[in-house]
Amino acid sequence: MPATPDWDAHDLLAHLAGAAHDAVHGRMDGAPGPAWSARHVGERRGRTAADLADELERCAAALPPQPPDRPTPEWDLLVHEADLREAWGLDRQPVDAWRPLLVRAAAFLAAGADGAGLTVATPTSVWDLGGGRRVDVSCDDHDLLRLLFGRRDAEHVTGSADAAAALAGLAFFATPR
């Protein structure tokens, strides 16, 4: 799995099932973080993919309503689905699946000023990540989303060292892919 090099697809599914389980049962200490995610994988080692899918489905159905303005298990699921699609050479998720996540992630960054006062312009959209300095990037909106979740390197999506420097550290997760 290029986006999660320490995991295979089974580990990724174990993490998703574990994250949904933890969200339902209030076991969020260390979330999100490497130890929290590793615990999901370790606790579910040896379980079948079907068992993990059942757990994920049960727990997802039991999740309380999630606030749209901050990271949620749904965000994690959408990001990791894209990881699987890329690893397996499948088409991207439909735009109506990933674009709402980009809208919410941009709003989250803008509200917390984690966007370092940036406005990011792709060839088709302008994204307010806290206002301020405009950074033009050559990537499409989907690659910007992947950048925000640490799945793209800033230089990969910008084609410019100056723009890459402005976007450095913007990702929710620090490991660029």
Q: Which of 1-15, 88-102, 139-153 has the highest mean pLDDT?
A: 88-102
Radius of gyration of the chain (CA): 17
Pair of tokens at residue 89: 């050479």
pLDDT above 90 covers a percentage of the chain that reads 49
Under the banding of pLDDT at 50, 70 and 90, the label for residue 113 is low
- 141 Cβ neighbours under 8 A, 6+ residues apart: 99, 102, 122, 124, 125
Q: What is the pTM of this model?
A: 0.86
**Residues 36-69 pLDDT 10s:** 999 999 999 999 999 999 999 999 999 988 887 7
d(CA 73, CA 79): 10
